[in-house]
Amino acid sequence: MLLRDIGYAKILFIGRDSLDINDNIRERIEKTKQLLSKLVHKNTMAYLQGLNCIKCDYETLGEYDNACKYATMIIDILSHNGVEHKATKKDEELVRDIWVHAYDTKARQGDFESFCIAMEWNRPINKQFYLPRAKLLKKHGVIQGIQDLIDDKLDLLVLNLPPRCGKTTVGLFLQTLIGGMFPDESILSAGHTTGLIQTFYNEIMNFMNDTEYRYHEIFPNNHIVDKSSEYYYFDLNKKRRFHTYNFVSIETGGTGKVQAERLLYCDDLVKDVEQANNPDRLEKLYHNYTSTIKDRKIQRLCKDGLYRPCPEIHINTPWSLYDVTSRIVQTAKDTGDMSRVRIISVPCYDENGESNFVYDYGKGFSTKYYKDMELAEDPVIFSAKYLMTPVERDGLVFNKDNITYYNELPPEEPDRIVAYADVTHGGDDYFSVPVGYVYGYEVYIEDVLFINKFGGDDASRPLVRDLIMRNHVTRCGVEKNNGGDFYSTLMDKDLKSKNYYCHITTHNAPTTKSKRDRILACQNEIKGIATEENTYRIYFKDANKIKGNRQYQEAMHNLFSWNQNILAQKRQHDDFPDSLAGLITNVLGGKTGRAKSNVSADSLGI
């Protein structure tokens, strides 16, 4: 009998005509609350059982917010402090039963984390999907993004994560939860091919039918009543024209056959890099998406009382600036209102060059794994799959095979040591400062500052100062744009405070040339090609010499990913090639050729 340890027997008001059953339940809740308030110790079985009684009663009344409040109290007690109880199998099972049913209560009301935990409650921890990955998925914002989508706070959620980090499984758990909560409303799930959507179909069916999971304990009233493994759909509780779950490939679409009422789920709409490199295929995929998938969305009433089209989630590898998801994101940005759009893009490396995905219980991937993949993989493919940076092969100017490398500096002293600063003050753009050791017309890029999201000028100033001093730079140019003029005065002040003198000059970006044309005009110098007499040639450290130097590596990646196509200019970071062009033009004062947007040095055979 519940609460037996404190001598209180619940009064059941069965048969009393003056009160209906809901009044009886509310009276019982109040009496239980009063009784619990008198308990001195909150870590007893009696207190735990009392909370559980109140939670169950609120759920019976349909007062789900209150039920979730008490479920949260139960979970907090058992997760952090535990309860004192007899060391018997019966009491152990009772505690675990109360605990998991608290997660069930929250799951039924759309708490995503509770759903994942409740679903896998009976699985060994090392076999579970969610808990070994939970800490990092929450750190990266994935779980909060999913929760905000469920809570009607977002219209579009994009998850860009490296392969095999769990993004698709998160998406399948999401679909399983939403279908369980709203079995009368349809979910549309799309992928690049029939083979992919078949895996979605099979896995969600497995979540519901495999006794290893607890789906039917969470949603006991839901049952599959109609399904088709040929047409990839199934219905919960009753047959309907637009099924609870619909799965289509972007190649075939779903006009007239499917509907997205509760969720539109898109996972890897572009199959691979070959497809991403074909503009005609990308255009066709985008047309298929807009005309046969996106147009299947219908309006629904949200929690704030407004009608909106059902939300979308895109699980994505950002292959191209022009793939389906990238175009959707760009369209959202062009509207100027991103308040209901969230882009979560997590590369394989953190800001220190370490793996972002070393999960618990041996799951995930080490830094060494990613380093090995980076050495083995094509840079363009690695950039998209692992760094979350789409790169277009068509229009690339620089690559690892057309620039010049060095292993060691010449033995003699350099003629001069120079640098050039492309200033930013934080945010996504990079503060780029290449340092060149000049020997005649040969310029060796011996050191690089290449940082973003660094927290403003106070964070960058000591880094710039130290870079200049340790390399004994005697001349540094600074681009005036974006506050560079004022920043140069701060640089001068910082250096003089250390009794170090460097000749600092400031330079306007030319108004007669675009940034793109400035870079193209210097492409031969950057490649280390001497096309004219007395032309400077840039040399970069060999890849083996910059292992562990994350900033230099990122700068080189930035160089290799720079694209000359007009449409790419506002969608890419060009900070390192731009700072190299500034170094050549404004500090070295070398001859530069005319910008050529369609004809590169490679095509001329030089």
Residue 362 burial (CB < 10 Å; 0-12/13-18/19+)? Answer: exposed
For the chain, which residues make up each domain, given as ranges? Answer: 4-109, 125-368, 405-604
125-368: which CATH topology? Rossmann fold (3.40.50)
Between the CA atoms of 528, 532, 536 and 539, what dihedral angle is there, to the nearest 10 degrees? 10
Distance CA 584, CA 578 (A): 10
Q: H or E stretch including 450?
A: strand 442-451
Looking at the DSSP bridge assignments, the partners of residue 396 are 563
**512: which 2 tokens?**
């007669």
Segments of the chain scoring below 70 in pLDDT: 1-19, 254-256, 391-394, 511-512, 530-531, 567-571, 590-606
pLDDT in tens, 266-293: 999 988 878 877 878 888 899 899 888 9
Looking at the DSSP bridge assignments, the partners of residue 436 are 418, 445
Give every strand in the sheet of 537-541, ordered side by side: 405-406, 537-541, 442-451, 431-439, 416-421, 475-479, 503-507
What pLDDT shows up at residue 10?
Answer: 40
Would you list the DSSP string of 168-219?
Answer: HHHHHHHHHHHHHH-TTS-EEEEESSHHHHHHHHHHHHHHHH-TTS-HHHHS
Query: Is the domain covering 405-604 a CATH 1.10.1370.30 domain?
Result: no
pLDDT in tens, 340-389: 999 999 999 998 889 999 999 999 999 999 999 998 888 888 888 999 98
Query: Is the domain covering 4-109 a CATH 1.25.40 domain?
Result: yes
